[in-house]
């Protein structure tokens, strides 16, 4: 299971400098994500993501979140025709939930994948992803949180929500103004 914790950051260059001493740089990429759900799936038990990157596209199945919006079962599959699949799904009772565009710098530390994300209309974040089971989810989240604090990130900046939730909240609040 994928277990993620993210935090809002104010100074991405400072975090980037710290990461270069604690982790190995992997890549930088632009990612365009389309999240979809079936119209009958009111409880969000399964979300599909079509991710387009420079080096290929992927279809991700994300199961229902465990606990906060920080852990869920997922499966990634290479995708050779993302536009065709998007059109097929949108014509088959799937609904666009949200699109998220980001520039991502990825690092690897022994236990984690670390992403510095600049997300259109949301801002700068660090996202740390670990893997575990449902039974050790809390321990993995605590280890990730400690790593964030060791990077100088304030506990108050740690977010227990995914980017989809954050984007939907932002869109909702801008419609209510």
Q: d(Cα 173, Cα 177) in Å, to the nearest integer?
A: 7
67: helix, strand or coil: coil
Alpha helices for 5-98 (secondary structure H) = 12-22, 82-90
Q: Which of 70, 74, 73 is nearest to 144 (CA)?
A: 70
The one-character DSSP state at 113 is E
Query: Which class for 77: exposed (0-12), middle (13-18), buried (19 or more C-beta within 10 A)?
Result: exposed
pLDDT of residue 44: 63
Could you give all domains of the chain from N- to C-terminal order, each with its CATH number?
2-175 (2.40.320.10)
Q: What count of other Cβ atoms lies within 10 Å of the Cβ of residue 166?
A: 21
> Do residues 29 and 104 make contact, with C-beta atoms less than 8 angstroms apart?
yes
pLDDT score, position 67: 58
Residues in the chain, pLDDT under 50: none
On whether the CB atoms of residues 50 and 34 are closer than 8 A, the answer is yes
CA atoms within 13 A on the CB side of 50: 21
The pTM of this model reads 0.87
Q: What is the pLDDT of residue 97?
A: 92
> So what's the pLDDT on residue 68?
60
Helix (H/G/I), strand (E/B), else coil: 4: strand
Residue-wise pLDDT tens digits, 53-90: 999 999 998 776 655 655 566 788 999 999 999 999 99
What are 170's two structure tokens?
């932002």
Q: What confidence score (pLDDT) does residue 124 get? A: 97
């Amino acid at each position: 299971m994928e277990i993620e914790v993210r935090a809002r950051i104010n100074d991405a260059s400072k975090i980037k400098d710290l990461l270069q001493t604690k982790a190995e740089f992997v890549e930088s990429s632009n990612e365009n994500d389309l999240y979809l759900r079936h119209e009958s799936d009111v409880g969000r038990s399964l979300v599909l993501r079509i991710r387009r990157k420079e080096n290929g596209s992927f279809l991700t199945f994300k199961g229902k979140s465990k606990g906060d919006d920080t852990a869920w079962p997922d499966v990634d599959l290479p995708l050779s025709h993302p536009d065709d699949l998007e059109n097929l799904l949108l014509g088959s009772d799937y609904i666009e939930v949200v699109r998220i565009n980001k520039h991502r710098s990825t690092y690897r530390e022994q236990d984690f994948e670390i992403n510095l994300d600049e997300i259109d209309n949301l801002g700068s974040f660090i996202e740390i992803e670990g893997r575990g089971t449902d039974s050790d989810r809390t321990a993995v989240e605590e280890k990730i949180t400690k790593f964030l604090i060791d990077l100088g990130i304030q506990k108050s900046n740690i977010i227990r929500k995914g980017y989809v939730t954050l984007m939907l909240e932002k869109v909702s609040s801008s419609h209510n103004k």
